[in-house]
Amino acid sequence: MSHCRLFARLLLQQAGVRHCYTGNRKNLYINKNTKVICQGFTGKQGTFHSQQSLDYGSQLVGGVSPGKGGKTHLGLPVFNSVKEAKDGTGADATVIYVPPPFAAAAIIEAIDAEIPLAVCITEGIPQQDMVRVKHKLLRQSKTRLVGPNCPGVINPGECKIGIMPGHIHKKGRIGIVSRSGTLTYEAVHQTTQVGLGQSLCVGIGGDPFNGTNFIDCLEVFLQDPKTEGIILIGEIGGDAEENAAEYLKQHNSGANAKPVVSFIAGLTAPPGRRMGHAGAIIAGGKGGAKEKIGALQSAGVVISMSPAQLGSTMYKEFEKRKML
């Protein structure tokens, strides 16, 4: 750990702050052995989705609700802090349903407890708070954060962390990464319908400052033999899609390139307006859908102009490559 900090400090002079942090991308790949705790366990959202998680078969092992430590909720132990919960259950992931005024502190608590994966569902965290969280996040290596403002992560049939409807998923061959929750469900629904199924789905969320980006997920997908195709769902605002395109050019070209299909939302969005997501805004002529589409196409990504054709487009790509 201190070795990493020293190294990080040296790299801080350049742009290498993320070096430590990018080493833990593999923490994204949850599975049937992943033990999950829930922060905000006894709240309305926490309770509802924890029950859904249990019904799905995820290994939810307890939760955190400050002041209610020692009690039982949904038949599971409640702890006062993430550290106590981790020590008490051996949890390796946490899902956060804490309201916006306290959510950043909840994420920091998870980082301090060195929990390998933290998934923050909360929408509405002030950007300044997330900038501070990210400052801490990038200078450590134990914890990977997904979100905030995201639906979560799911390995179909093995582990579901978040609010996605489990029943639309099917274990399979496609890795899905998306900034939009409901568009992810569209992609999942369609890939299930065409019989391809999903290997791992990661919702990275709609906020401008978040813990995991497209590239983090693409690395996992490209290195995973079970993931044979990738669906990337982007939207206006920022440059995450352009960065992803660059990454794909470097790491997913040539004969062994995995098929990547993409939809970018917001071609009809007016500039200057925040389209729901805090990060979905075309500012000063930058962040438009057209440019993102162009960048991805130049990296060999197949763009679907309709969000209803993601499954069929991927199916065609599999057909072309005789992967069916």
The C-alpha atoms of residue 174 and residue 188 are separated, in whole angstroms, by 9
CB of 124 to another protein, least distance (A): 5
DSSP annotation string for 234-286: EESSSSHHHHHHHHHHHHS-STTPPPEEEEEE-TTPPTT---SSTT---BTTB
Nearest CA to 93 among 164, 150, 27? 27
CB of 162 to another protein, least distance (A): 9
Which residue from 278, 295, 296, 299 is in contact with another protein, where contact means CB under 8 A?
A: 278
Under 8 Å between Cβ of 183 and 263: yes
Please confirm, yes or no, whether 277 is among the known catalytic residues: yes
Give whole-number Cα distances, 309 to 173, 279, 323, in Å: 17, 25, 19
CA dihedral 113, 117, 123, 128 (to 10 degrees): 60
Is residue 238 close enough to count as binding another protein by CB under 8 A?
A: yes
Is residue 19 close enough to count as binding another protein by CB under 8 A?
A: no
From the list 85-93, 110-118, 119-127, 169-177, the region that binds another protein by CB under 8 A is 119-127
Of the CA atoms within 13 Å of residue 233, those in its CB half-sphere come to: 28
* Cross-strand bridge partners of residue 111: none
Is residue 233 close enough to count as binding another protein by CB under 8 A?
A: yes
Is residue 236 close enough to count as binding another protein by CB under 8 A?
A: yes
Q: Which residue, 83 or 286, is less far from another protein as judged by CB?
A: 286
From the list 24-32, 73-81, 87-95, 289-297, the region that binds another protein by CB under 8 A is 289-297
250 is in an annotated binding site: no
Under 8 Å between Cβ of 147 and 122: yes
Catalytic residue among 73, 135, 167, 277: 277
From the list 24-32, 78-86, 252-260, 287-295, the region that binds another protein by CB under 8 A is 287-295
Nearest CA to 313 among 274, 268, 259, 271? 259
CB of 323 to another protein, least distance (A): 24
Which residue from 288, 293, 296, 313 is in contact with another protein, where contact means CB under 8 A?
A: 288
Residues forming contacts to another protein in the complex (CB under 8 A) are 17, 45, 49, 100-101, 123-128, 131-132, 134-135, 138, 151, 163-165, 168, 178-183, 185-186, 189, 206, 208-209, 233, 235-236, 238-240, 263, 265-280, 282-286, 288-291, 305-309
